Structure 1
Amino acid sequence: MSVSNETVDVVRLADVNLFDPAFHTGDPHPLWRVMRERAPLHRQVLADGRMFWNVTRYHDVCRVLGNHRQFTSERGSLLSQLGTVDAAAGRMLVSTDPPRHLQLRRPLASLFAQPAAEALRGRIQHGVRGLVNAAPVDGSWDLAVDVQQLPLVAAAAVMDLPESDWPDLIRWTGMAAAPSDPAFSVGSTAATLAIAHHELFDYFAGQVRGRREHPGDDVISHLLSMHAGDGPLTREEVIFNCYSILLGANATTPHTVSGTVLALVERPGLLGELTGHPEAATDLVEEGLRWTSAASSFMRHAVVDTELSGGVVRAGDAVAAWVGAANRDPRVFPDPERFDPARRNNRHVAFGHGPHYCLGAALARVTLREFFAEFLQTFVSVQLAGQPQRLASNFIAGLTHLPLSVRRRA
């Protein structure tokens, strides 16, 4: 069910299913406002008996994501894994706790740090211009569809993945991130997820075979040659982490772009102020990251009994940390429901918090800034040409369609 501003006060929280991907095709923020104030620690029990807690306040979300001694990532990091055994636990970056997490992350950090991102700026600019120039002058431009290729401009360069493979990689990562959405589903949710995992793991197994024969200066070759702890990574660890890196890039950056553009289109006066000022892109990107919170939720399990706002989570319990709710907490963000590219001290957690802070954050920021610098320099008018469609996912907050009509600068 969806919740509107008018009805949220009379909806019982027990009637709302945050686990249901379809719920998130509506606007969850009216509900999250109520939860932050009335039920900052909200218990939800599914029909099959599985249970998890929801946290929506900024400082609680930071604690759940940032304190691995109280909340572990090794029993599944996504809400869809609730009640299952994570096969990648202890072997994939997102499914490990320190010290193993640091052993995996530290050797990769330089490949995604700011200098590495800056070295790709020219390639990213070229890809951005190709995307923006493809927008039709007459007719509708579905930005949410076309922008899916944008993160691969950088990620494929870092991983040395051929452009001919991009369409498959976009489709498979979409299926993995949102297996319930009609845009990606192939039969049931479970079948879609199984197909996506099979295709992506098989694809990266082939890439690993190729790098063993012809190593290069890319992430996959680096994973094959690096040591973490007492020895080199296993073949499965390399494949798991290739999957994680690609999914992290493809599943979030496009939705930050389309969601930020939608916020501008809905505020034509603001768009008019920014158009022609590409230097405004940096602040616009940070507010867009906060506003869209594309990585909407992460799951952790309590290691010990832990007190959070509203009560105590018992050891072993699952907790969903809602990043989108945290990023509009009025305790941290003044006037949080206002989209404000001039916002200062923007301490959003769109890239996560603590040990699992997004490895590719610098690369994502360069990509987003280059897109919006080009966008603001190119278009003088952007309007909706149809109804936006939101993604059905309890993990990714985004859009599957954003039809636009645009007018270019003379």
Structure 2
Amino acid sequence: MTATLSVEEAGHVFATPAAYTDETRLHEALALLRRESPVHRVEVPGYNPFWAVTRHADVLEIERNNALWLSAPRPVLRSAEIDARLAEQRARGTGLKTLVHMDDPEHRVVRAVAADWFRPRAMRALEVRVRDLARRYVDGMAAHGGACDFARQVAVHYPLYVILSLLGLPESDFPRMLRLTQELFGQDDDDKRRGGTAADHTAVLADLLAYFRELTAARRARPTGDLASEIANARVDGRPLSDLDAASYYVIIATAGHDTTSSTIAGGLEALIRHPGELRRLRRDPGLLPLAAEEMIRWVSPVKEFMRTAAADTHVRGTPVGEGESVLLSYPSANRDEEVFAEPFRFDAGRDPNRHMAFGSGVHFCLGAALARMEIRALFAELVPRLENVELDGDPAWVATTFVGGLKQLPIRYTLRDRPARE
């Protein structure tokens, strides 16, 4: 830790989108907080105050006590201006309301609408399709002539294709969805955002909701047996979902279903490039791939935080937190916690056990975790055996964010073996 960085300055990283573009500096700050102030009060201009929670045990305890720690009204860190705008929308009944905004019992019954589509049986039925898509995108790398921006040309498109195909969207709409989802999560990044104001962020949400309202109407008029039809025609407590609630459901499936996975795939390859011994290990022993996929997820931690609000006066690690106060759960910090992970800053393709928190825990455990794992395994199962060599071909770049993100550029140079003939 540099001597010039104080604990107070370290706490500012959570509300500084650019901090997530410098992983070395970020993890230095998080390590300092874990050591000296694991439940840290953060007061930064432009943001409502919150407590930053950086230890794995505390994040896990809060996640599992969903009666005390509520998602509403502040499920993610936003500026005070956006918080105020969203509160107004909620009061009017016009705001986005996804699973991450909900608490039980509402959360439980709404989550059940799509849950069967992500259970093991459904994943097994989808596996052949995912493997075919993985092969398609690795074949595409061969067509790039030995150099590409892996983040932009491979990692971002493959999981988007999977999740939007599951929803049943036409392939012609995929570029539009990519742009809108990147604008939604990239509001703090100059290369991703539509604009820098709260009004710009609201406009992105409005465009997403308008698109999905049209989809809802189409699937109600003519169901097509896809996930979009399931959501459009779902009934909760005997009543159909409102157009807004259905559109909100599509938004969380389409956005969370691809941005987090694409970040992990790009970050996973970057980790293998920087740790060539682990890449060789994975080539020698393909049976390690499930463990390697979990390590990639831990290493990248694409969801940077969720927020929870105390329903009553309580304590976290002895620190009083009052009713109505919010805590930020730092997943990159929890996933580097020295109390849980041996050598947490070493990428270990065979790490076992790996009790990472990247998918959360408790009732809000990631709905699409099984799909994300399958996509990661399928892509690297196709890519690793065919990589004769791979190296960086320029500097990687990360998205400026306070919520979801990872690499936005990963220029690489490589040689691929020909794909073996299929039996």
TM-score bin, normalised by smaller chain: over 0.9
State how 1:318-333 maps to structure 2 within 5 Å.
Answer: 318-333=326-341
Contact 1:100–1:229 (8 Å) recurs in 2: no
Match of 2:9 among 12, 15, 27: 15
Following TM superposition, the consecutive aligned residue runs of length 4 or more in structure 1 with deviations greater than 4 angstroms are 88-91
- Mapped pair 1:347 → 2:343: no
Q: Report the CA distance between 1:189 and its aligned residue.
A: 4.2
- Mapped pair 1:109 → 2:115: yes
Please, which runs of 5 or more residues in structure 1 have no aligned partner?
A: none
Change (3 A) 1:126 1:101: same
Partner of residue 74, structure 1: 72
Partner of residue 26, structure 1: 22
Question: Which string of whole-angstrom CA distances, capped at 9 and with x for unpartnered residues, describes residues 83-112 of structure 1?
Answer: 432738894211111111111112321111
Match of 1:364 among 372, 392, 412: 372
Match of 2:175 among 138, 147, 167: 167
- The AA in structure 1 aligned to 2:233 is S
Distance in 2 (CA, whole Å) between partners of 1:89 and 1:229 is: 21
Partner of residue 54, structure 1: 52
Partner of residue 188, structure 1: 196
Q: Report the CA distance between 1:78 and its aligned residue.
A: 1.1
Change (3 A) 1:300 1:389: same
Please, which runs of 5 or more residues in structure 2 have no aligned partner?
A: 419-423
Q: Report the CA distance between 1:191 and its aligned residue.
A: 4.3
State how 1:72-221 maps to structure 2 within 5 Å.
Answer: 72-80=70-78, 83-84=83-84, 85=87, 87=90, 91-136=97-142, 138-146=145-153, 147-221=155-229
Contact 1:276–1:380 (8 Å) recurs in 2: no
Distance in 1 (CA, whole Å) between partners of 2:384 and 2:146 is: 20
Change (3 A) 1:325 1:238: same
SS in 1 for 2:156: helix
Q: Which moved more, 1:253-262 or 1:16-25?
A: 16-25
Distance in 2 (CA, whole Å) between partners of 1:170 and 1:182 is: 16
Question: Which string of whole-angstrom CA distances, capped at 9 and with x for unpartnered residues, describes residues 163-204 of structure 1?
Answer: 111111111101101211122122314244223212211110
- Mapped pair 1:399 → 2:397: no
- The AA in structure 1 aligned to 2:342 is P
Q: Report the CA distance between 1:281 and its aligned residue.
A: 1.8
State TM-score, norm by structure 2.
0.91
Q: Which moved more, 1:335-344 or 1:85-94?
A: 85-94
- The AA in structure 1 aligned to 2:41 is R
Distance in 2 (CA, whole Å) between partners of 1:111 and 1:371 is: 21
Cα RMSD after superposing both structures: 1.9
Change (3 A) 1:189 1:265: farther
Distance in 1 (CA, whole Å) between partners of 2:264 and 2:197 is: 24
SS in 1 for 2:328: strand
Distance in 2 (CA, whole Å) between partners of 1:56 and 1:123 is: 38
Distance in 2 (CA, whole Å) between partners of 1:385 and 1:54 is: 36
Distance in 1 (CA, whole Å) between partners of 2:238 and 2:362 is: 24
Q: Which moved more, 1:360-369 or 1:178-187?
A: 178-187
Distance in 1 (CA, whole Å) between partners of 2:334 and 2:261 is: 19
Change (3 A) 1:226 1:399: same
- The AA in structure 2 aligned to 1:142 is D
Distance in 1 (CA, whole Å) between partners of 2:305 and 2:129 is: 31
Q: Report the CA distance between 1:243 and its aligned residue.
A: 0.6
Q: Report the CA distance between 1:310 and its aligned residue.
A: 5.0
Change (3 A) 1:192 1:373: farther
Distance in 1 (CA, whole Å) between partners of 2:197 and 2:356 is: 31
- The AA in structure 1 aligned to 2:147 is S
Percent identical among aligned pairs is 32
- The AA in structure 2 aligned to 1:10 is T
Contact 1:58–1:332 (8 Å) recurs in 2: yes
Distance in 1 (CA, whole Å) between partners of 2:100 and 2:356 is: 20
Q: Report the CA distance between 1:81 and its aligned residue.
A: 6.0
SS in 2 for 1:43: strand
Distance in 2 (CA, whole Å) between partners of 1:298 and 1:105 is: 18
Partner of residue 236, structure 1: 244
Q: Which moved more, 1:150-159 or 1:398-407?
A: 150-159
Q: Which moved more, 1:383-392 or 1:153-162?
A: 153-162
Q: Report the CA distance between 1:247 and its aligned residue.
A: 1.2
Partner of residue 294, structure 1: 302
Contact 2:278–2:349 (8 Å) recurs in 1: no
Partner of residue 421, structure 2: none
- The AA in structure 2 aligned to 1:370 is A
Contact 2:38–2:53 (8 Å) recurs in 1: yes
State how 1:279-318 maps to structure 2 within 5 Å.
Answer: 279-309=287-317, 311-318=319-326
Distance in 1 (CA, whole Å) between partners of 2:179 and 2:39 is: 36
